[in-house]
Amino acid sequence: MLDCRELAKRLLKAEENHKAVSCITEKNPEFDIAMGYQVQNELVQLKKDQGHKILAYKMGITSQAKMKQMNINEPIYGYIFDYMNVPDEGELVIEDFIHPKVEAEIAFILGEDVEGPNMTMEEVLSKTEWVLPALEIIDSRYTDFVFKLPDVVADNTSAARVVFGKRRFRPNEYELDAIGVTMFTNGELRADGVSAAVLGNPANSVAVLANMLSHDGKGKIAKGSIILSGGITEAIMVNKGDSVTANYDGMGSVSFQVR
């Protein structure tokens, strides 16, 4: 029998020591997605026990670019914690990570509760108060950033940091499926895409999250919650000294420095 609490402690240590560990499925081929979420639950509890608070939900593997890059084709969810928040134009310290990557996303802030199991994109849009651009920094705790779906679920979907844009927007001001994004490191274009890449419309990703949470007995997404809807483009490796900027059509840019 696998001990989910012990597996969660091992992942937490990997994050705290910035040292990768082998993935769980390597030695335990029976480790499945349901067990992955059990380990994630334990990991979330361990972080709460340390005094950290959940800042946002996150969806992962919601675009073709990400599915192709990670060789996984199913959306997953996890949690962003308060200690992961970096201000726009802020700084990351490379030593705090194992092998960080950055991806451009659209974030939602809900004006009303959103609850599965039958949530739709249209209903999410009507219940969204704000949308804003965000960069997610992911940092798999597994060696070489290689894993199977149950492993990455256990690892809280590689969540590491988030940078929200300074300005927020009303959802009805935008065609939320038509936001073009370009991502640069040190002035060089590294990735680009359009928000429709995220399940046709990033609002759909929020609907899928609500339905997954309902299915898993985790209740509704409460009014005021923040949701990261998933990378629009593939994730780009970040290195010491990098200056990272993403431009979002009509929504300005989000950036950070790596020292």
Which of 136, 151, 234, 242: binder of Mg ion (CB under 5 A)?
136
Candidate list 70, 203, 236, 244; residue touching ligand OOG; CB under 6 A: 70
DSSP string, 236-252: EE--TT-EEEEEETTTE
The reply to whether omega before 75 is within 30° of 0 (cis) is: no
Given a contact cutoff of 8 angstroms between Cβ atoms, the answer to whether 156 and 140 are in contact is: no
Interhelix angle 33-49/4-17, rounded to 10 degrees, is: 60
Task: Yes or no: say if 82 and 247 are a contact pair by the CB < 8 Å rule.
Answer: no
Name the strands in the sheet holding 188-194, side by side, starting at the edge strand that comes first in the sequence.
90-92, 252-258, 243-248, 180-185, 188-194
Please tell me whether residue 231 binds ligand OOG under the rule CB under 6 A. Answer: yes
The token duo for 18 is: 């910035």
Q: Does 119 bind ligand OOG (CB under 6 A)?
A: no
* Least Cβ distance, residue 201 to ligand OOG (angstroms): 15
Toward ligand OOG, which CB reaches closer, 24 or 152? 152
Nearer to ligand OOG, 157 or 187 (CB): 157
> Considering the complex, what minimum distance in angstroms separates the CB of residue 97 from ligand OOG?
13
> Does residue 61 sit in helix, strand or coil?
coil
Let me know the angle formed at the C-alpha of 10 by 4 and 16, rounded to the nearest 5 degrees: 135
* 3-class SS of residue 65: helix
* Residue choice 231, 234, 238, 248 for contact with Mg ion (CB under 5 A): 231
Interface residues for ligand OOG in 142-171 (CB under 6 A)? 152, 157-158
Q: How far is the CB of 33 from ligand OOG (least distance, A)?
A: 14
Residues 169-198, interacting with ligand OOG (CB under 6 A): none
Strand partners, 81: 54
Residue 136 as a binder of ligand OOG (CB under 6 A): the answer is: yes
Is the CB of 23 or the CB of 170 nearer to ligand OOG? 23
Note whether 202 binds Mg ion by CB under 5 A. no
Q: Under the criterion CB under 6 A, does residue 140 sit at the interface with ligand OOG?
A: yes
Q: How far is the CB of 3 from ligand OOG (least distance, A)?
A: 24
- What is the rounded distance in angstroms from the CA atom of residue 62 to the CA atom of residue 68? 11
Give yes or no for a contact between 246 and 255, defined as CB atoms under 8 angstroms apart: yes
Binding site for ligand OOG (CB under 6 A): 58, 60-62, 66, 70, 103, 136, 138, 140, 152, 157-158, 230-231, 235
Which residues of the chain form contacts with Mg ion (CB under 5 A)?
A: 136, 231
